[in-house]
Amino acid sequence: MATTSPPLIDTHPDLYIGLMSGTSLDGVDAALVDFSQVSPNLLATHWLPYPDDLKTALLALHEPGPNELDLSSRLANQLAELYAEATHAVLAHAGASHTTVRAIGCHGQTVRHQPARGYTIQINNAARLAELTGITSVADFRSRDIAAGGQGAPLVPAFHAHCFGDPNEHRVIVNIGGISNLTDLPSNGGPGGGQVRGWDCGPGNLLMDAWTRRCFGCDYDAGGAIAARGHIDAALLSRMLAHPFLSSPPPKSTGREDFSLDWLLALVQETSLSEDVLATLTEFTARGIADAIKQHCPGTQAVYLCGGGAHNQTLVTHLAALFPATRVEPTDRLGIAVDWVEAAAFAWLAKHTLEGKSGNLPAVTGARGERILGAIYPA
């Protein structure tokens, strides 16, 4: 007699790799993610720091200079090799073969972001990445949104909504990378719910990093320890807060073009103590985020932080002080550690591209409509 078996549960993993290299120019975040269940499952992660000479060359490429095309192509090749190395490392950590991965979603390294002029440039050689890894690679996620009239950024809010939306709690997710971007998830804004919004709200780590490098000779203010020794200079803070980007209405996006060391140097007085400038920059970064939430996301019940800035304890303390009645916590509490949210988001965006689904949210970027993002380089 034939027996009836229970319906087969699809236990096949749905594996993607996300590679994120953000404005901070610190390196490549790699995450191997299984999307076969409702919540993404991060199987392995790896961080590969940029060599100092690459960081310096990339920083220089942000400014106009001689022989840019050649330089940018050579740096793109070097990046593709690092992206491949990060891919191999994450596969090794998981004991997985490249053949099990459907695609890599690779953000590339932004060197120009000019949506008003109709372009953004994330350098990468995705053809080389596909060749080096044997894995289909999806790249250049932002250009299509800009072609459709959007800012091309931020692109992570759709992923934030997918993972972190809650029908009963109004949450704001703040990613503190080089630039800070936030996602507003009203309590009915979870998957299939109401309006999700998001935008770049101002600087993240990039000004603090630039000042720390210039005055203290290290890449960043670990734990915010140097800023904790300084005092906030109220006059300098108010000059910083007058930056027009902060008061301009969303949708909006920004980059190193708007918040440069030159901009900062023009505001700082020579007599200022370096620690005090860093303390003020840390408060400025917190204010940029907090003011945006207070102005545009009334009723927020919880703020969740991710990105490297979530490790800056002084910044987190300043932010929490600006929200005395609201919980401020890392996204670890929601199941994804602060360092891997963006990499996981680009793995998820690659999945959308491969499946022919849109990845942008027009309410976030200002695009004319939903678009399938990215260019596919088959394995």
Q: How far is the CB of 77 from Mg ion (least distance, A)?
A: 20
CA atoms within 13 A on the CB side of 81: 8
**Which span sits near Mg ion by CB under 5 A: 19-27, 150-158, 160-168, 291-299?**
19-27
> Considering the complex, what minimum distance in angstroms separates the CB of residue 220 from ligand ADP?
4
| Number of residues assigned to the chain | 379
Residues that bind ligand ADP (CB under 6 A): 22-24, 26, 177-178, 205, 209, 220-224, 307-309, 311-312, 342
CB burial of residue 192 (10 Å; 0-12, 13-18, 19+): exposed
> 206 or 302, CB closer to Mg ion?
206
Nearer to ligand ADP, 58 or 96 (CB): 58
Q: Which is nearer to ligand ADP, 320 or 379 (CB)?
A: 320
We find the least distance from the C-beta atom of residue 20 to ligand ADP, in angstroms, to be: 6
311: partner contacted, choices Mg ion, ligand ADP, none (Cβ within 5-8 A by kind) = ligand ADP
Closest CA to 28 of 107, 100, 91, 92: 107
208: tokens are 């603090």
Structure tokens at 122: 């994330």
CB of 80 vs ligand ADP, minimal distance in Å: 18
| Interface size with Mg ion, residues (CB under 5 A) | 3
In terms of CB distance, is 90 or 277 closer to Mg ion?
90
Give rounded-to-5 percent helix, strand, coil for the chain: 45, 20, 35
User: Which of ligand ADP, Mg ion, none lies near 230, with the C-beta cut-off 5 to 8 A by kind?
Assistant: none
102's enclosing H/E stretch is: strand 101-106
Residue placing its CB nearer to ligand ADP in the complex, 24 or 72: 24
Shortest distance (Å) from residue 344 CB to ligand ADP? 12
Distance CA 232, CA 209 (A): 17
Q: How far is the CB of 209 from Mg ion (least distance, A)?
A: 11
Is 184 a binding residue for Mg ion by CB under 5 A? The answer is no
Identify which of residues 49 and 167 has a Cβ nearer to ligand ADP in the complex.
49
Decide which of Mg ion, ligand ADP, none touches 312; Cβ closer than 5 to 8 Å per partner kind: ligand ADP
The CA distance from 184 to 64, in Å, is: 35
Binding mask 20-49 for Mg ion (x = CB under 5 A): --x-x-x-----------------------
Q: Which is nearer to ligand ADP, 224 or 330 (CB)?
A: 224
Scanning 15-23, 103-111, 197-205, 277-285 for contacts with Mg ion by CB under 5 A, the matching segment is 15-23
Please give the C-alpha separations between residue 107 and each of 82, 113, 236, 345, in angstroms, as whole numbers.
13, 13, 35, 10
Taking the CB of residue 353, how many other CB atoms lie within 10 A of it?
A: 23
Q: Which option in ligand ADP, Mg ion, none does residue 362 bind, with CB closer than 5 to 8 A by kind?
A: none
Whose Cβ is closer to ligand ADP: residue 15's or residue 25's?
Answer: 25
Q: Helical H runs in the chain?
A: 52-61, 68-94, 126-133, 143-147, 157-164, 206-216, 225-229, 234-241, 244-247, 261-267, 274-296, 313-322, 341-354, 362-365
Give the whole-angstrom CA distance, residue 311 versus residue 231.
20
